[in-house]
Amino acid sequence: MASSVQVIYVAGLATLAAVASCVVAPSDGGSMAPDQRSGLEVNAGSAVAADPPAPSILSAVLLHDEPDPGEERWRETGRDVVTLVFSVPLDPGGMQAQDFLVIGVDERQALPARAVFAPSQESDELRAVTITGAFGDAGVASVNVIGALYDAEGRALDGASSDVEPPSAKPRVVSWGPVKPGPGRCEGAAAAVRLWWSRPVRVRGTVGPDVTSRVAMVTAADGSAIDVTGVDDLESADAAPDHVVDLCLAGADEVRSVSTATGAFTAG
């Protein structure tokens, strides 16, 4: 399905429209279009191409390089943490730390001490992986898949790679698409849209009744606005940061674009 992607800046909103030349009916019987992944960025940036057909790493960000040495979790795993977001869910059964190779800015190679699904750990969220280890003092340049890592459909990811963004990198949306509301996810909403961020984020402040203008705007295929009635998992700044943000919608129309208000989400 050929598509074009356009980023539009309007009144402080970074708006991305993914307009498909033909629409394929959703296999789950819902009314939204199939998963529309994009390069929507927050605060600044430009669009990136839609995900390639093969499974890939959409983003890699170095979160920490100088953690508190007194924290228990660092004593055996080293000091560096890189968070990865994949284009597809992974097979949770076979992932190992040795499936990944980290290349430093000085070209030093290192294997992670640990690789876990985190912070997004629910069964339908297995696209975010956190790797931890001692990756050197020069900085991290890239992460590569070198082991027997597979996606949920059994496709190999050997050879997938991504440059690593520094800890100062601003969060950006790397993928978005419809999800079904249900227990624990926008329960009672007419529909929902899931945003995958390049790094865990928090919502700024508390999400009140006026959610649409505070956090995001969602546009239907006919150009009308779909009210956002809630933000699942990140209802307040006290909620744990996450790669995943589910926007609960009042209408179930086909979604054409999603906009996030500048500053509404911050790095966790």
Contact 162, 186 (CB under 8 A): no
Query: What is the structure's pLDDT at 138?
Result: 84
Query: What is the structure's pLDDT at 207?
Result: 61
Band of residue 206 on the pLDDT scale cut at 50, 70, 90: low
Query: What is the structure's pLDDT at 212?
Result: 62
Band of residue 237 on the pLDDT scale cut at 50, 70, 90: low
Query: What is the structure's pLDDT at 262?
Result: 83
Lowest mean pLDDT among 20-34, 163-177, 225-239: 20-34
Give dist(CA 64, CA 217) in Å, integer: 32
Query: What is the structure's pLDDT at 261?
Result: 83
State pLDDT tens for residues 87-138. Answer: 999 998 889 999 999 999 999 999 999 999 988 777 788 999 999 999 988 8
Give dist(CA 135, CA 82) in Å, integer: 10
The answer to whether the bond into 166 is cis (omega within 30° of 0) is no
* Average pLDDT in the chain: 75
Lowest mean pLDDT among 162-171, 180-189, 212-221: 212-221
Question: Is residue 221 predicted with pLDDT exceeding 70?
Answer: yes
Specify which of 16-25, 28-37, 160-169 reaches the highest per-range mean pLDDT.
160-169
Specify which of 30-44, 166-180, 196-210 reaches the highest per-range mean pLDDT.
166-180
Contact 249, 227 (CB under 8 A): yes
DSSP notation for the chain: --EEEEEEEETTEEEEEEEESS-PPPTTS-SSPSP-----BSSS----PPPPSS--EEEEEEEESS--TTSGGGTTT-SEEEEEEESSPBPTTS--GGGEEEEETT--EE--SEEEE-S--STT-TTEEEEEE---SS-EEEEEE-S--BBTTS-B-TT-EEE-B-TTPPPBEEEEEEE--BTTBSTT-SEEEEEEEEEEEEESSB--S-HHHHTEEEEETTS-EE-EEEEES-SBTTSPPEEEEEEEES--SPEEEEEEETTSEEE-
Q: Which amino acid is at 36?
A: Q
Query: What is the third-level CATH fold of 57-163?
Result: Immunoglobulin-like (2.60.40)
Lowest mean pLDDT among 3-7, 67-71, 195-199, 246-250: 3-7
Contact 82, 63 (CB under 8 A): yes
Query: What is the structure's pLDDT at 23?
Result: 24
pLDDT more than 70, % of the chain: 69
Contact 202, 265 (CB under 8 A): yes
Q: What is the pTM (predicted TM-score) of this model?
A: 0.76
Residue 74 has φ and ψ, to the nearest 5°, of -95, -10
Band of residue 82 on the pLDDT scale cut at 50, 70, 90: very high
Burial class (CB in 10 A: 0-12, 13-18, 19+), 170: middle
Band of residue 163 on the pLDDT scale cut at 50, 70, 90: very high
Taking the domains of the chain in order of start, what are their residue ranges? 3-44+171-267, 57-163
Give dist(CA 150, CA 156) in Å, integer: 4
Band of residue 217 on the pLDDT scale cut at 50, 70, 90: confident
